[in-house]
A = this chain, B = another copy of it.
Amino acid sequence: MGYLLKNCDFVLTWINDELRILRDVDIAIDNGLIISVGKAIEGHLEEINCSNHVVIPGLVNAHTHTPMSLLRGFYDDAELMTWLNKMWIVENELTRDIVSLSSELSIIEMIMSGTTAFIDMYHYPDVVADIASRYGLRAALGPTFIDILKSPTLVENELRNFMSRYGNSSLVRPIINVHSIYTVGKDTLLRIRDLSHELDLPIQIHVSETRDEVYEAKRKYGVFPVEYLNSLGLISSKSQLIHLGWVTSWELSIIAKANARVTHAPTSNMKLATAGHFPMRELMEMGVIVTLGTDGPASNNSLDMFREMKMAVLLQRHSYWDVSIKAMHAFRAATVNGYRLLGPRGGCLGNGCVADLVLLDLGSPRLQPIRDDNILSNIVYSADGSDVDIVIVNGRIIYDKSRDYQVLRERARRIGERLNDFTRKFL
């Protein structure tokens, strides 16, 4: 099954870490990969007319909690720990059915807004993985270690089962989720390190999200969170560190030296008033791979990666009092860097690059005027998910607005009603 994207007005792609803007080209896709890019390509592939469209690499939501659409707008006005405690009350009573419905709702929202892959942390990851696969979306996820709610032995068993079920999937990538150093004890952290080596799995963890977390670590362990994790052997090229709003400057070299990956979640940090500053410029200068995530729909409350890209630039400029962070940096974080973190070669258009692409409709008034020199700006600062027309993952069209728009909306509406039946008792 292949496609030929004909006459794309604009194509944005990364070549050797440089953003390139191509005009009026065709893109041939076969067997899940991009096989050719250029003028007037011919071939026995199904043609898709891409005039009046810009083709961009798929957006990677590098950190979310997909099923939390259940709790969208449920409790907006609290700081992180108060908020988490409220979330946990509801989450204690979650069922596979509810997780299935709420992750489906988020997955619908994600594909409709141009997300081609997401990295998830939540209960029942097998349920989320199945829904993602059914919709054709890439996902990296796995069971979550969180000692205060669940025994680590239980999570380890879940993880081994998850591995054996999804270890060979083309769309699902198992990872080890670790909630945080304040909800997971030292013994469990050491066990996680060993599991990561044994099973060759990446680790995703919330780190240095609040000032309290950082102070508490210093008080309890005499060191800051990244130092603490490093002392346990948990900072490596397999680690994905989320938030880092209160990371110290000297911890940055630990991250850079280990080639650990980092994820910025600006909207969620602002909404939960965690303050602090994710040092994006320093991290980039040190060569660290910076990615971008919306965090869950209960703390954002959107899963629109276009909005998140804009938010990242704005918050960084506000914090640095300068304009050193530009649209390009957010676009890189959300595309090619997301793929570096995930595994498959994406964000590019060469041979062997995965065919994870988004076709944006150029007709929206908010995107005018359009030229080579402002197309990226318009995508990052003016577009939103509603401009997405077609989403291709692994060479397959997983969303086509002209075909799927009404069906998905009706499905989402029905899911919403069923979720309300569940949450009403907590109101």
Q: In the complex, what distance in Å separates the CA atom of A204 from the CA atom of B37? A: 52
Cβ–Cβ contact B374 & A302, under 8 A: no
A397-409 Cβ-contact flags toward B at 8 Å (1 or 0): 0000000000011
Q: In the complex, what distance in Å separates the CA atom of A69 from the CA atom of B381? A: 13
Q: In the complex, what distance in Å separates the CA atom of A326 from the CA atom of B415? A: 27
Cβ–Cβ contact A318 & B363, under 8 A: no
Q: In the complex, what distance in Å separates the CA atom of A95 from the CA atom of B275? A: 45
Cβ–Cβ contact B76 & A327, under 8 A: yes
The answer to whether the Cβ of A181 comes within 8 Å of any Cβ in the partner chain is no
Q: Interface-forming stretch among A18-26, A129-137, A333-341, A416-424? A: A416-424
Q: In the complex, what distance in Å separates the CA atom of A410 from the CA atom of B361? A: 12
- 14 sampled A-B residue pairs with Cβ under 8 A: A69-B369, A72-B369, A270-B315, A275-B318, A275-B321, A304-B366, A307-B384, A311-B314, A318-B318, A363-B413, A365-B408, A368-B416, A369-B417, A371-B427
A residues lining the B interface (CB < 8 Å): 69-70, 72-74, 76-79, 105, 108-109, 112-113, 267, 269-273, 275, 297, 300-304, 307, 311, 313-315, 317-318, 320-323, 326-327, 362-366, 368-371, 373-375, 377-378, 381-382, 384-386, 408-410, 412-413, 415-417, 419-420, 423-424, 427
Cβ–Cβ contact A301 & B384, under 8 A: no
Q: In the complex, what distance in Å separates the CA atom of A370 from the CA atom of B427? A: 13
Cβ–Cβ contact B317 & A273, under 8 A: yes
Cβ–Cβ contact A76 & B377, under 8 A: yes
Taking CB as reference atom, which chain B residue is nearest A364? B409
Question: Could you say which residues of chain B place their CB within 8 Å of the CB of A374?
Answer: 72-74
Cβ–Cβ contact B368 & A415, under 8 A: yes
Decide yes or no: A302 and B381 within 8 Å by CB, A76-B327, A267-B314, A318-B269 being known contacts.
yes
Taking CB as reference atom, which chain B residue is nearest A211? B321
Cβ–Cβ contact B378 & A301, under 8 A: yes
Q: Which of B78, B315, B369 contacts A420 (CB 8 A)?
A: B369
Decide yes or no: A302 and B366 within 8 Å by CB, A72-B374, A381-B73 being known contacts.
yes
Q: In the complex, what distance in Å separates the CA atom of A269 from the CA atom of B311? A: 13
Cβ–Cβ contact B365 & A412, under 8 A: yes
CB distance from A409 to the nearest CB of B (A): 5
CB distance from A71 to the nearest CB of B (A): 9
Question: Could you say which residues of chain B place their CB within 8 Å of the CB of A423?
Answer: 369, 371
Decide yes or no: A368 and B323 within 8 Å by CB, A73-B378, A271-B381, A313-B271 being known contacts.
no
Question: Could you say which residues of chain B place their CB within 8 Å of the CB of A381?
Answer: 73, 76, 271, 300-302
